[in-house]
Amino acid sequence: MNQEIRELEPKQLWNKFADLNAVPRPSKKEERVIAFMKKFGEDLGLETVIDTVGNVIIKKPATSGMEDRKVVVLQSHLDMVHQKNANTDFDFDTQGIEMYVDGDWVRAKGTTLGADNGLGVATIMAVLESKTIQHPAIEALFTIDEETGMTGAIGLKGGLLNGDILLNLDTEEDDEIGVGCAGGIDITATRSYKQLATPHGAIGYTIEIKGLNGGHSGMDIIKGLGNANVFMNRLLYKGDKKCGLQIASVKGGSLRNAIPRESFAVIAIDSNSQDVFENEINSEITKIKAEYASLEADLDIILTETASPEKVMDTDAQKMVIKAIYAALNGVHRMSPEIDGLVETSNNIAKIIIADGKVTVMCLTRSSVDSNKDDLANKLTSCFELGGFEVELSGSYPGWTPNMNSSIVKLTAELYKKINGEEANVAACHAGLECGILGTHYPEMEMVSFGPTIKGAHSPDERASISSAKKYWHFFLEVLKETPKK
């Protein structure tokens, strides 16, 4: 299946991507891909180092005639988001990604593709391996754990790199030159509750929400897509208020940086309220589907009568939990007043688990303004604390402040226009790139980000454009050739 990927042009890029995607590499489980990359560098006879946190650095001298150019750091992250459809049988810990061609797109069978950031990694691998590509001295930096904490970038020490310019290959629109990004902070709210025996004569139901688009909680948050956790809490609120619904368990979402596509709940109601409950919930389902008809065509919400659960949440805790989640902001909080169309601050209610006497709510708050990131984190903390939760803030990382006077920004913008006959979209984004963190370790290093067009990142609908990859590859090679002199 992956053989047809290897026949795509440019073959250097797609063959390295196929090699990489044969290696399991979920975030925080990068041991195999680190070993793979170490062997790759050593087999080429290049200086290869693994730092104290697991980042891999491979250095390659300049090609003939390029020795007088500034040293370039090529940077991408090794890990990938692991998301799959509910009906897909796949183990990210042991299996390589199964890819196929669909018109102009490369896709995966029911899982994330790993083009984010695998195409960037493959690009760098192709240059390291090539004997014909012209380039200055290169320091290839492959970071770990970008998707779930950026701990690789955070743990990178100063002094390991000597580069003057950093090219981050993690932007997902081929006409965009990234010059800034949002920072982020993880919010984890937890509380306990009493488990009570389900009242005699109660009826059990399951509520399933699936078929949502999901997507990147930074880049896609502006689209106003459905959030399975928000929808589920809305249904639970209605059932609690109208029929005295009692929660046995909830499981929604998976990763902080992915908009949740699915949520599943087990609940109980008094048998005397069955007709009212079904009417109220089905009415609310109809309203949700109507509100999101143009955005979530495949949304499916299924209410099924089932055996009554043995235990449920105590009533007082349930009301506080439902109200706290309902009050917590999800989506765009503030648009940038300075950059048209840019989300400045947002929150993703990413994961909710209610089971065995404990509630856990996980959020990712992003902002390109650190003070507003902290302010929204304080708002969410207050909201959850009022609901009886304990709140932990962790994994904070800075944004990347644009420097429009940077020589590499000017060079890439000029080259893009020369090659493509149109202006590039030189912009900041609401995703969390590693440039902001890397800039704290190497403050004198100039940075820019670009990449091929990738759609649906962080979801099983992730796909990479074949024609865009050709365009991006040509642009990338020209940037290397035109690297400024020292």
Q: Per-residue pLDDT tens for 107-131?
A: 999 999 999 999 999 999 999 999 9
Q: Tell me whether the omega of the peptide bond preceding residue 168 falls within 30 degrees of 0, making it cis.
A: no
Region 163-178 average pLDDT: 96
Burial class (CB in 10 A: 0-12, 13-18, 19+), 480: buried
Cross-strand bridge partners of residue 209:
263, 301
- Per-residue model confidence (pLDDT) at position 404: 87
- Torsion, Cα of 256, 258, 260, 266 (10° steps): -40
Buried b / exposed e over 171-210, threshold 16 CB at 10 Å, is bbbbbbbbbbbbbbbbbbbebebebeebeeebbbbbbbbb
Q: Per residue in 465-483, pLDDT tens?
A: 999 999 999 999 999 999 9
Active site residues: 79, 146
Residues of the chain with pLDDT > 70, as a percent, come to 100
> CA separation (Å) from 166 to 43, 70, 75, 147, 195?
25, 10, 7, 20, 54
Query: Phi and psi for 413 in degrees, rounded to 5?
Result: -65, -45
Give me the chain's average pLDDT, please. Answer: 96
- What domains appear along the chain, each with residue ranges and CATH number? 3-181+399-481 (3.40.630.10), 185-397 (3.30.70.360)
pLDDT at 340: 87
E runs forming strands in 78-157? 99-102, 105-108, 138-143
**For 58-108, what is each residue's pLDDT tens digit?**
999 999 999 999 999 999 999 999 989 888 999 999 999 999 999 999 999
Are the beta carbons of 325 and 352 closer than 8 angstroms? yes
- Does residue 338 surpass a pLDDT of 90? no
Between CA 391 and CA 408 the distance in angstroms is 41
Q: Smallest Cα–Cα separation from 95: which of 77, 114, 75, 116?
A: 114
Least confident window among 101-105, 253-257, 320-324, 360-364:
253-257
Asked if pLDDT for residue 39 goes beyond 90, the answer is yes
Neighbours of 276 (CB within 10 A): 15
Task: Residue 274: name the closest of 237, 239, 314 by CA.
Answer: 239
Residue 486 has pLDDT above 60, yes or no: yes
* Residue 9, amino acid: E
| Residue-level pLDDT at 87 | 87
Q: Residue 1: pLDDT band by 50, 70, 90 thresholds? A: low
- The burial class, CB within 10 Å (0-12 / 13-18 / 19+), for 268 is buried
Report the chain's C-alpha Rg in angstroms: 24
Where residue 357 falls among pLDDT bands split at 50, 70, 90? Answer: very high
- Report the C-alpha gap between 436 and 370 in whole angstroms: 12
In tens, the pLDDT along 269-318 reads: 999 999 999 999 999 999 999 999 999 999 999 999 999 999 999 999 99
**What is the greatest pairwise CA distance in the chain?**
84
pLDDT for 214 beyond 70? yes
With pLDDT > 90 as the criterion, what percentage of the chain qualifies? 94
DSSP bridge partners of 72: 138, 165
pTM of the entire predicted model: 0.81
